[in-house]
Amino acid sequence: MEDRIDLRVTLGALALPNPVMNASGTFGYGHEWPELTRSDCLGAIVTKTLTHEPRPGNPPPRLHETPAGLLNSIGLENVGVTAFVREHLPALRAQGRVMIASIGGDTPEAYAACVAGLEPEALAAYEINISCPNIACGGAAFGRDPREAARVVTAVRGVTGRPLFVKLTPIAADPVAVGRACLAAGADALTAMNTYRGMAIDVTRERPVFARGTAGLSGPAIRPLALARVWELSRELQCPIIASGGIVTAHDAMEFLLAGATAVQIGTALFRDPARATGILEGLRAIAARKGVARLADLIGRAQRAE
């Protein structure tokens, strides 16, 4: 029975063989160490966030483990679009998976320039990162305000007809309003959520661990918070949602699907087990079989409909 479960899902016009992908920033550029990550089982591979020009990122330390997650302050370090296409994309393309480029920028025009540089490469979709908490400008500054978020989406939509997914920030006063504005501007789906703002203090030095003071908190600690956001967005907007936030097991992933997510991203769990997505996918298949459904997609949003 498990082998016959149909795992396919769709995000707008984008069809995926299954709903499990990596979260941007936790998987390198997407092609590294495939025998370790088992990237061949993923429904899609999401690159680390790319910007039009190279970025050096924030000074170390950049990672700090917490009792139930991870704080990070990478700062969108990346080689830039031109070097990505030359140095990383051929190996990523050779894996034969659905490829989604995460993009960032300091202005709406910079986001658009990034996508314009990638357009000739025929990637499957773009995830617009308007939610990074670890950069001085851009990032979450766009994600907090519906009008600013819409400006970014409008600029990007002007240079591509490919599917656009917008990665939301949890620090917005009204994430539903931001999501609605992004959809109205041309987005096809929403990714919920990026990391929550947190910090750690070095007791010996009596100083913050990170140079910027705060950092982004991910991992199991934020899962109930992210789940509540997915539930709210699904109920209010009825759009495809990619869930991200502390997913470690198939049970975790199924919670998000039942809440209304169409797909899930695995992030912090990959640091401990780079092949974790494989176990989650097998577990989802087993849960669907126990529930007696032939299509995993039939479970999407079922908890909403049960009310």
DSSP per residue, 86-135 = HHTHHHHHHTT--EEEEE--SSHHHHHHHHHHHGGG--SEEEEE---SSS
**244: domain range?**
2-305
The active-site residue, picked from 114, 132, 182, 239, is 132
**Euclidean distance between CA atoms 286 and 295, whole angstroms:** 12
**pLDDT interval class at 138 (50, 70, 90):** low
- Assess whether 137 carries a catalytic annotation: no
- C-alpha distance from residue 148 to each of 64, 130, 185, 233 (Å): 31, 9, 11, 19
The token pair at 279 is: 């176990």
Q: pLDDT digits over 2-51, tens only?
A: 678 999 999 999 999 999 999 999 999 999 999 999 999 999 999 999 99
What is the length of the chain?
Answer: 307
Position 116 scores a pLDDT of 98
Amino acid at residue number 186: G
Residue given tokens 């393309």 in the structure block: 93
Q: Which long-range contacts (CB under 8 A, 24 or more apart) does 29-34 make?
A: 29/84, 29/88, 29/92, 30/88, 30/92, 30/95, 30/99, 31/88, 31/91, 31/92, 31/94, 31/95, 33/274, 34/95
Position 3 scores a pLDDT of 74
Number of folded domains that form the chain: 1
CATH code at 219? Answer: 3.20.20.70
Is pLDDT of 301 > 80? yes
Helices 250-259 and 276-291 meet at what angle, rounded to 10? 60
